[in-house]
Amino acid sequence: MTPILNRGLLTSARRVVLSALVVLIVAGLGALIFIYSGRYDIAARRPHLMIVRSILTMLQERSVGFHASGIEVPPLDDPARVREGLVLYRKYCVVCHGAPGEAQGRVGIGLNPSPPPLVQAGRKWSDGEIYWIATNGLKMAGMPAFGLGHDPDQLWSITAFVRRMQTLSPREYQRMVAAAEGATDPGDIRWVAGDQGWARLREAGNPEQGAALISGFGCASCHTIPGIDGPRGNTGPPLGDFARQHYFAGRLVNTPENLIQWIIDPPGVDPRTAMPALGVTPEQALHIAAYLYSLGGKQ
């Protein structure tokens, strides 16, 4: 009895493995035939199939993460470095990646994958990773390896500038360009950014209090804000994803400092706005900011 049973089990297990192998081989052959047929649309102007795109993106992100993990980052908060980085960035990088208030050139627009706006690169990549990408380039992405023609020092300067760009307004950027490339240097340019208010927000900002204040001041009558009852107004933009947005109010970088200043006195910041000053105190604005940054995932 037992030997027969054993034989039966083995055979069916073997059958399963064999079937799986056959399926894999057939699928592989099918894929090869498809690739060879040339039917896959390789044109850059049209997007990849979602599955191909997902695989390629994961491949790229994981590879950079792995290969850039050991890099030691030198101090980047140095005005001279940032300034040199700006000059290099404008020479080599703007054409594909743009800059605050500056569009990418035709070359950048025509590429697939699309060169991302580097004003937000810090959300996705660490300084070491940005340095690695600039130095080594990326296969099949149109991103050149600038390490071939530049020394590490210059590439760290570019990295330092990209880092500074994360909190750079278009106005400040234009002033920097004028100072670095032109004759004018007003001397009050912030080559190195401060903390922008994040430390204080994390220490002292209370999102629950912020929510209560938002209800109290009636913000929801103009803005659609998750977690706050209101008529879902459309006078102002929806704030559900506010934390992820890079700019707000057209020309301000989304930092606690700027947001608090805005909440306290919007017309003072920009006379064109329809948003009124409601008599919010700085401390109240801090809590309101804390609530808004708690939505949609904080930086």
Partner 1 sequence: MAGVSLARDLVTGIGHPLVSPECRGGRLEQGAWTLLLLLAACGDPGEGELLVQAYGCVACHEIQNLNVEPATVGPTLRGLAQRRYIAVGLPNTPDNLVRWITDPQEVLPGTAMPDLGVTRREARAMAAYLLDLPEQTLQAGGRENAE
Among 28, 234, 268, 277, binds partner 1 (CB under 8 A): 234
**Among the residue ranges 33-41, 73-81, 151-159, 233-241, the one whose residues contact partner 1 (CB under 8 A):** 233-241
Sign of CA dihedral 173, 175, 181, 185: negative
Which residues make Cβ contacts (< 8 Å) with residue 94, sequence separation at least 6? 102, 104, 105
Map residues 37-76 to x or -, x wherever contact with partner 1 holds by CB under 8 A.
Answer: --------x-xx----x-----------------------
Q: Does 229 bind partner 1 (CB under 8 A)?
A: yes
CB 94 within 8 A of CB 122: no
CB of 215 to partner 1, least distance (A): 13
Backbone phi, psi, residue 277, to 5° = -80, 125
Which residues make Cβ contacts (< 8 Å) with residue 249, sequence separation at least 6? 262, 266, 269, 270, 273
CB of 207 to partner 1, least distance (A): 11
How far is CA 194 from each of CA 2, 5, 198, rounded to the nearest angstrom? Answer: 77, 75, 10
Map residues 81-120 to x or -, x wherever contact with partner 1 holds by CB under 8 A.
Answer: -----------------x-xxxxx---xx---xxxxx-xx
- Side chain identity at residue 276, one-letter code: P
Q: Does 272 bind partner 1 (CB under 8 A)?
A: yes
What are the residues binding partner 1 (CB under 8 A)?
45, 47-48, 53, 98, 100-104, 108-109, 113-117, 119-120, 169-171, 174, 224, 226-227, 229, 231-238, 240-241, 244-251, 270, 272-274, 295-296
